[in-house]
Amino acid sequence: MVVMKTKLLIFGITGDLSTRKLLPAIHRIVATEGYDDMEVIGVSRREVDVKALLAGALGTDEDAERFSIFSMDLANQEEYARLREYIALGDDEQLLVYLSVPPQAATQIVDFMGAAGLTSPNVKLLFEKPFGVDLTSAEEMIARTARYYDESQLYRIDHYLAKEMAQNIVALRGGNALFSHLWNNTAIEKIEVIAREKIDIEGRAQFYEQTGALRDIVQGHLMQLLALTLMDIPPQFDWDELPARRQEVLAHLRPADPAKARRAQYEGYREEVGNPKSRTETFVSVELTSDDPRWANIPLRLITGKALDKKSTEVRVHFRKIHEAQSNCLVFRIQPDEGVEIELFTKKPGYEREFEKRQLMFSYPEQTVLPDAYEQVLVDAIRSRKSLFTSSSEVVASWRVLQPLLSAWEMDDRTIQMYTKGEATHTICSVE
Residues within the interface to ligand BG6 (CB under 6 A): 159, 197, 216
Are residues 290 and 181 in contact, defined by beta-carbon separation less than 8 angstroms?
no
Least separation in angstroms between CB 225 and ligand BG6: 11
Which residue blocks in 365-423 are alpha helix, DSSP H?
373-382, 392-411
27 is known as an active-site residue: no
Are residues 111 and 139 in contact, defined by beta-carbon separation less than 8 angstroms?
no
Least separation in angstroms between CB 213 and ligand BG6: 8
7 vs 339: CA distance, rounded Å? 36
What residue number has its CB nearest to ligand BG6? 216
Nearer residue to ligand BG6 within complex by CB, 199 or 411: 199
Nearest to 106 by CA among 136, 149, 66: 149
By the 10 Å C-beta count (0-12 exposed, 13-18 middle, 19+ buried), 334 is classed as buried
Least separation in angstroms between CB 135 and ligand BG6: 20
Nearer residue to ligand BG6 within complex by CB, 28 or 318: 28
Nearer residue to ligand BG6 within complex by CB, 197 or 338: 197
- How many secondary structure helices (H) and strands (E) does the chain include? 15, 15
Nearer residue to ligand BG6 within complex by CB, 124 or 159: 159
Least separation in angstroms between CB 10 and ligand BG6: 18
Least separation in angstroms between CB 216 and ligand BG6: 5
Nearer residue to ligand BG6 within complex by CB, 197 or 394: 197
For the beta sheet containing 261-266, the strands, ordered from the edge strand earlier in sequence to the opposite edge, are 355-363, 339-347, 329-335, 312-319, 188-196, 300-305, 283-288, 261-266, 417-419
Least separation in angstroms between CB 128 and ligand BG6: 9
Q: Annotate 42-97 with DSSP letters as a single string.
A: EEESS---HHHHHHHHHS--TTGGGEEEEE--TT-TTHHHHHHHHH---TTEEEEE
Nearer residue to ligand BG6 within complex by CB, 6 or 335: 335
By the 10 Å C-beta count (0-12 exposed, 13-18 middle, 19+ buried), 309 is classed as middle
Nearer residue to ligand BG6 within complex by CB, 7 or 129: 129
By the 10 Å C-beta count (0-12 exposed, 13-18 middle, 19+ buried), 237 is classed as middle
The active-site residue out of 27, 159, 221, 252 is 221
Least separation in angstroms between CB 49 and ligand BG6: 28
For residue 356, what is the enclosing H or E element? strand 355-363
For residue 319, what is the enclosing H or E element? strand 312-319
Enumerate the active-site residues. 221
